[in-house]
Chain A
């Protein structure tokens, strides 16, 4: 079977072709202008950030050899040939790692509790007063936007060096992030139970407790676990500013050029983060799985 392809007469084709060319041309021009603006922005940024390609090319070898060096023991052998020598400080590092995990656990729990208390005031559908909602929302925004490590820097001065400053910094940052997510869950909750409970003459507090909370706990737990995962990473660098955890060991190792220690500590952190990721993922799956069944 043959199919005939119909070709339009010349004049009609010319009009269509011109229209097509014009449409494509306009789009190309727009992309070109966008690209030019972007290129100028990049150039300005490169001057602003003191980019020096010669430095990069001169020292790029250093970057590669850095990785060569951190995988070499003092004796000149590769690290994996002598695990005992590589992880010579494992007792100390494991203890610091435990401290890091505790910092993120306690910080997440405090942050989640505060977020739990505040989020009902921030949600559109449950907030008792508009001005209260405005205040709580701005407060959460502030806690979320200022980076955790800036809080840590200030808290180290107020509360002294040590893990306490790290815990509080993580707690505040988590309050901001979780408060927003929690209030979004509440906004998606079904309002019919609230009406039902309010019709019995219950107070605002009882409405929240018996109508909203049962709907949202699984979502809260899931977000809190996700936050814990993020906070483990965050806590591993809190030590950089003296707020406890394994970051302290790492920054000393990097600054003092204890090469094989750097790779050992980094590996410990990466493996821990990996394990935490997998186990919280599993736990979240179980929580949501149970929710789906009932």
Chain B
């Protein structure tokens, strides 16, 4: 066995100055960033009126609320809640479908391999971006102004805000499609519409169907919250019961939402698998 060789650290130090004597700026960067992040954090706590006493008082209040929530109990309004849950699921399904139907043609306009002109694509993309920049809740408020309180406003809110998201996702799916099939159609004398129908759509429809199912799933969650501003569904009941401090009903409603979301997750997972098959689920 050989003894480990004595290492001349001085020589190593001279040879690799980057490792042994890092410049002060590199050594200070991480601590400086941490200190800055912490300073902003403390400033934020002060500016947002955080105080230990308020926090503790709130916590004890919260503990009391949690105790009041047990056991979950719908009282006599179970039928109303079930109807509201149905309304929520309807909002999610209809809103997502509407959005997908309207987004498909627009997404073709935003895809590079369908519309080569950048001048034409640019406004379409910015339009979709700005729709996406506005939250679903804000759209719900706007639609309530237009069609009045109720679930219909919720459907339209989800449809509009998903329209922006779908437009982007669909156009990305279309851009990822294989061009060879389109060329094949063109070579056999197909018109541009034939190219889209027989060359592109068969490739992208499974991907799009997977995305739509995924959005129905996530919109079940969104649909529960748009009720809070008055756009129908179970969120409306939830917000009302919270405001009148009926905690047992609140916990029952939250449980209902959790169960419904889990059920929809399960069903759409199965469906997605059936549609896309063994391929990776998008």
**Chain A contact residues, CB within 8 Å of chain B:** 41-42, 44-52, 55-56, 59-60, 62-63, 66, 99, 102-103, 105-106, 109, 142, 145-147, 149-150, 153-155, 157-160, 162-164, 167, 233, 236-237, 240-241, 244, 250-251, 254-255, 257, 266, 269-270, 273-274
Contacts and interface: CB of A to CB of B under 8 A. Distances in A.
Interface in B83-133: 86-87, 89-91, 93-94, 97, 130, 133
B242 interface: yes
Contacts, number: 158
Contact of A41 (B44, B93, B143): B93
A99 B47 contact: yes
Given A105-B41, A106-B41, A49 B134 contact: no
Contact of B151 (A50, A60, A105): A50
B62 A45 contact: no
22 contacts: A42-B93, A45-B89, A46-B94, A49-B91, A52-B152, A55-B147, A62-B146, A63-B143, A106-B41, A145-B221, A146-B254, A149-B228, A154-B250, A158-B58, A159-B57, A159-B58, A159-B62, A163-B48, A164-B50, A236-B135, A254-B145, A266-B138
Interface string B195-226: 00000000000000000000000000100110
A45 B49 CA distance: 45
Residue from B47, B93, B134, B137 whose CB has the most chain A CB atoms within 10 Å: B137
Interface in B225-255: 225, 228-229, 232, 238-239, 242, 245, 250, 254
A122 to B, nearest CB: 18
Given A51-B152, A164-B49, 7 more contacts: A49-B94, A50-B151, A55-B147, A55-B152, A60-B146, A63-B142, A147-B225
B86 A48 contact: yes
Contacts of B151: 48-50
Nearest to B241: A153
